[in-house]
Amino acid sequence: MKRTIILFDINETVLNLSALKPKFKATFGDESVMATWFSMLLHSSTVCIMTSVKTDFATLAGTMLESIAARMSIKLSKAARDDILAGFANLPPHNDIKPALAQLKSAGFRTVAFSNSSLNLISTQITNAGLKEYFDDIISVEETGSFKPDPTVYKFAAKRLNQPLESLRLVATHDWDTHGALSVEMRAAYINRSGAVYHPLYRQPDIYATTMEDIVKLIIEKDD
Amino acid sequence: MKRTIILFDINETVLNLSALKPKFKATFGDESVMATWFSMLLHSSTVCIMTSVKTDFATLAGTMLESIAARMSIKLSKAARDDILAGFANLPPHNDIKPALAQLKSAGFRTVAFSNSSLNLISTQITNAGLKEYFDDIISVEETGSFKPDPTVYKFAAKRLNQPLESLRLVATHDWDTHGALSVEMRAAYINRSGAVYHPLYRQPDIYATTMEDIVKLIIEKDD
């Protein structure tokens, strides 16, 4: 029996955020606004950690939409705001996700969805993406009152799974997330979906690949 | 004698970051990339706080330029990278800054530059912007090994100035920065330069205005 449990980040790693691009194009006239919005959302979540503001990811996602609209002098209608946020709850999986999760499970690994979204939002996202039977468990940062990459939330996941940190491996397409996991001695695998350079100051995972097929192959080789 | 010392955030609050837009346009084909870059820089700085990575703002600024270029599949030449970062050290002041600082000083306030940039970078920025005689002091987060809005850095500024936190007021155009100051009982004034909505979950300052003239007027009224 495999002892390693594989945690998957959800937004961008499992689900394809690019599906929101047409909505950003329609509302903001420029699909690249999506990247700015997501980056502002991440920054705001870390500010909330540091200053002990209790909130959830969806609330911050809405606030950051309004912020960027105001900054661009664009009137954000309630309909457009709701449409983008509904789209966020209805993202399709990347094409490589179902085969990867199926392969890991048939190789005996347990798979866990682990996200900054609230438990309710992750559950909705996973169900809408048709991935419900591909995950053994769902863990949200929600109960910790914090967000990744706060060390607290990776430790919380290990406690929830009743496993030592070093028997867990996080798969993510964000270097700040794999770095956060590695900072508390969790293992990690980085899938480079965007072409982004891995931050040279962040901790480097022993598994790094550009396709999920390679990630799975390397996990099976190393963690079997 | 006035007891209140007024701290000024530098990037975007005092100095006009928009001066970099033509450089972003030339390198990335789109000046709006600047906003994404600055937001990624801020997020990375908070990740470094939370995971105890020691670095400086200029290093992160360079890394984030490379990251966004790779993500956009744009080859970032060393010349273009250096040009943008040199531009960052050579930003012009907003037009309202010299009169505002002069007015505060002649009303008896002390003025302090207080930034996430290293001491060397802030000093260069202030000198290049022709603002050297407008500030009584310069404080960088550098010695703390952290960045705003970590509570530590506001407390550090108070200690450096040998003043209680409540006798200081921070002027900034970033709500996460005024919020950070207010979270440790420093006073704050928010200048809305971008039209952005003030984050509803962040602490609200008692001074909020869209022009620096109004900010100064309100400071003199309240803190005299």
What is this model's ipTM? 0.90
Q: Is A104:A97 a contact under the CB 8 Å cutoff?
A: no
pLDDT surpassing 90 at residue B3: no
Going from the C-alpha of B62 to that of each of A42, A79, A88, B85, the distances in angstroms are 19, 38, 31, 7
The residues spanned by each domain of chain A are 5-16+91-223, 17-88
- CA separation for the pair B219, A70 (Å, rounded): 26
The residue of B43, B64, B72 whose CB has the most chain A CBs within 10 angstroms, and thus the best one to mutate to test that interface, is: B43
Q: Which of A59, A68, A200 shows the shortest C-beta gap to B63?
A: A200
User: If one looks up domain A5-16+91-223 in CATH, what number appears?
Assistant: 3.40.50.1000
Q: Give pLDDT, residue B2.
A: 62
Q: Give pLDDT, residue B150.
A: 96
Q: Give pLDDT, residue B147.
A: 96
Residues of chain B with C-beta less than 8 angstroms from the C-beta of A42: 43
Q: Give pLDDT, residue B73.
A: 92
- CA separation for the pair A185, A168 (Å, rounded): 9
- CA separation for the pair B114, B135 (Å, rounded): 10
Average pLDDT across chain B, whole number: 95
Q: How confident is the model at residue B83 (pLDDT cuts 50, 70, 90)?
A: very high
- CA separation for the pair B170, B55 (Å, rounded): 24
- CA separation for the pair A5, B68 (Å, rounded): 32
Q: How far is A186 from chain B (nearest CA, A)?
A: 14
Q: How confident is the model at residue B1 (pLDDT cuts 50, 70, 90)?
A: low
Measure CA of the first residue to CA of the last residue in chain A; give whole Å: 9
* Three-class SS of chain A: CCCCEEEECCECCCECHHHHHHHHHHHHCCCCHHHHHHHHHHHHHHHHHHCCCCCCHHHHHHHHHHHHHHHCCCCCCHHHHHHHHHHHCCCCECCCHHHHHHHHHHCCCEEEEEECCCHHHHHHHHHHCCCHHHCCEEEEHHHHCCCCCCHHHHHHHHHHHCCCHHHEEEEECCHHHHHHHHHCCCEEEEECCCCCCCCCCCCCCCEEECCHHHHHHHHHHHHC
Compare all CA atoms of chain B with the CA of A152 and give the residue at the minimum distance.
B50
User: If one looks up domain B17-88 in CATH, what number appears?
Assistant: 1.10.150.240
What is the per-residue pLDDT across B140-149, written as a single tens digit (0 to 9) for each? 999 999 999 9
- Mean predicted confidence (pLDDT) in A8-36: 95
Going from the C-alpha of B13 to that of each of B18, B95, B115, B141, the distances in angstroms are 11, 11, 10, 17
- CA separation for the pair B9, B151 (Å, rounded): 15
What is the per-residue pLDDT across B170-207, written as a single tens digit (0 to 9) for each? 999 999 999 999 999 999 999 999 888 899 999 999 99
pLDDT surpassing 70 at residue B126: yes
- CA separation for the pair A107, A101 (Å, rounded): 10
Say how far residue A65 (Cα) sits from the centre of its chain. Answer: 19
Residues of chain A with C-beta less than 8 angstroms from the C-beta of B201: 48, 53, 55, 59, 63
Residues forming a β-bridge with B11 = B15
Q: Give pLDDT, residue B43.
A: 94
- Mean predicted confidence (pLDDT) in A81-102: 96
Strand residues in B24-177 grouped as ranges (E)? 110-115, 137-140, 168-172
> Phi/psi at A11 (nearest 5 deg)?
-65, 120
The residue of A30, A47, A59 whose CB has the most chain B CBs within 10 angstroms, and thus the best one to mutate to test that interface, is: A47
For domain B5-16+92-223, give the fold.
Rossmann fold (3.40.50)
Q: How confident is the model at residue B224 (pLDDT cuts 50, 70, 90)?
A: confident
Q: What are the residues whose beta carbons fall under 8 Å from the beta carbon of A159, sequence distance 6 or more? A: none
Look up residue B169 and give its two tokens: 């007021």
**Are A197 and B32 within 8 A, CB to CB?**
no
Q: Does A55 touch chain B (CB under 8 A)?
A: yes
- CA separation for the pair A67, A73 (Å, rounded): 10
Mutual angle of helices B78-88 and B57-71, in 10-degree steps = 140
